[in-house]
Amino acid sequence: MSNDIQEVKKESSSYATGLGSLESVHVFAPATVANVVCGFDVLGFAVNEPGDEVIMRRKDKPGITISKITGDDGRLPLDPAKNTVSVSVQHYLDSIGSSDIGLDIELHKKMPIGSGLGSSSASTVAGLFAIKTLLGDDTDPMKLLPFAMKGEEMACGHGHADNVAPALLGGFVLIRSYDPLDVVRLPSPKGLYCAIVFPDVDVPTREARQIIRNKIQMKDAVTQWGNIAGLVSGLFMQDVDLIGRSMQDVLVEPVRSMLIPDFYKMREIAMENGAVSFGISGSGPSVFAFTRDEETAKLITQKLQQHLTNIKIGSNGYVSPINDGGPKVIG
């Protein structure tokens, strides 16, 4: 990782004095679904909706301030030393020798925190893409990944990349290896839609990780890597049937599904209404289904939310194609 940071420093040296022409920028970064059922800790994809927004403005006084956070119910710190967005941005600025630039950040959370949709990753990536854009730094977005992973480490206690990498690069992303970091952008079939439902229950990421077994059966692992190989093949072949058949998880889902209300009933509802596949988004509690079109995704979102209402659980629902470009400037 230190090598990557070195490289950014070198390539970005012309921006070190903050000579970029923009005074402010408004950025969107997408929510992400990690694991994708059979790709625990190595696979994720981004959606167009929901996502977080960052407005970043230059200011005269050196240092980063956070003037406003909305949509977080007061849960996120305004202290720039404690907020993952400002901390990641500061790491980036330090790496290019621009530590003393003056910045103010507004963070607008457009998705629930603790939803399993890469909420912290979306905010961090939005912040990093904002500072990159503000400074006119046109190096490969991939170079921001180590800084985004630093933010993830602070937010979740581990520097995983299966949310930040797809949030940053868009589409499906494989993290083949962490040491050295090896990230592969995968294609996805045209027309593939995603229905996402967040049941409003509390599943802390750390606890969802702790309940996973450390020791597993070799035969289950073989099933799992047959499936991830099938899923990756399906993505390249644009074979939605193969994608659906491959999205089975015999290792993590059987444990984590216990933390999600009526998980198997929700699967039944999704599959009966035309889903290609159904599973847990990241560590949950959000669930997602792939569909072949927008209408089916809308129907499934609606049916799942209706079921959750029936069992007296609030929810948020989202319908989106697979995001293709990662973060973008929206103002």
Which residues of this chain interact with a copy of itself, rule CB under 8 A?
Answer: 38-43, 174-177, 182, 184, 186, 212-219, 221-230, 232-233, 236-237, 242, 245-246, 251
Give the residue among 326, 329, 15, 330 at the shortest CA–CA distance from 142.
326
Helices 2-11 and 84-95 sit at what angle, rounded to 10 degrees?
60
Instruction: Name the residue nearer to a copy of itself (CB basis): 131 or 183.
Output: 183
Q: Describe the strand order of the beta sheet including 315-321 as a list of residue ranges.
A: 277-280, 287-291, 193-199, 315-321
CA 145 to chain centroid, in Å, comes to 12
Instruction: Name the residue nearer to a copy of itself (CB basis): 229 or 330.
Output: 229
Instruction: Name the residue nearer to a copy of itself (CB basis): 81 or 218.
Output: 218
Pairwise CA distance, residues 212 & 63, whole Å:
41
Active site residues: 152, 205
Cβ atoms < 10 Å from Cβ of 242: 17
Helices 145-156 and 84-95 sit at what angle, rounded to 10 degrees?
150
Pairwise CA distance, residues 235 & 35, whole Å:
15
Mark 291-314 as b/e (b = at least 16 C-beta within 10 Å). bbeeebbebbbebbbebbeeeeee
Instruction: Name the residue nearer to a copy of itself (CB basis): 176 or 265.
Output: 176
Q: Are 84 and 69 in contact (CB under 8 A)?
A: no
Mark 51-73 as b/e (b = at least 16 C-beta within 10 Å). bbbbbbbbeeeeebebeebebbe
Q: What are phi and psi of 326, to 5 degrees?
A: 75, -145
User: 33 - beta bridge partners?
Assistant: 45
Instruction: Name the residue nearer to a copy of itself (CB basis): 201 or 250.
Output: 250
Give the residue among 280, 214, 272 at the shortest CA–CA distance from 249.
280
- Binding site annotation covers 244? no
Instruction: Name the residue nearer to a copy of itself (CB basis): 169 or 308.
Output: 169
Indicate the DSSP class of residue 322. B
The distance of closest approach from Cβ of residue 87 to a copy of itself in the complex, given in angstroms and rounded to an integer, is 27
The distance of closest approach from Cβ of residue 284 to a copy of itself in the complex, given in angstroms and rounded to an integer, is 18
- Binding site annotation covers 118? yes
* Known binding-site positions for ATP: 112-122
* Known binding-site positions: 112-122
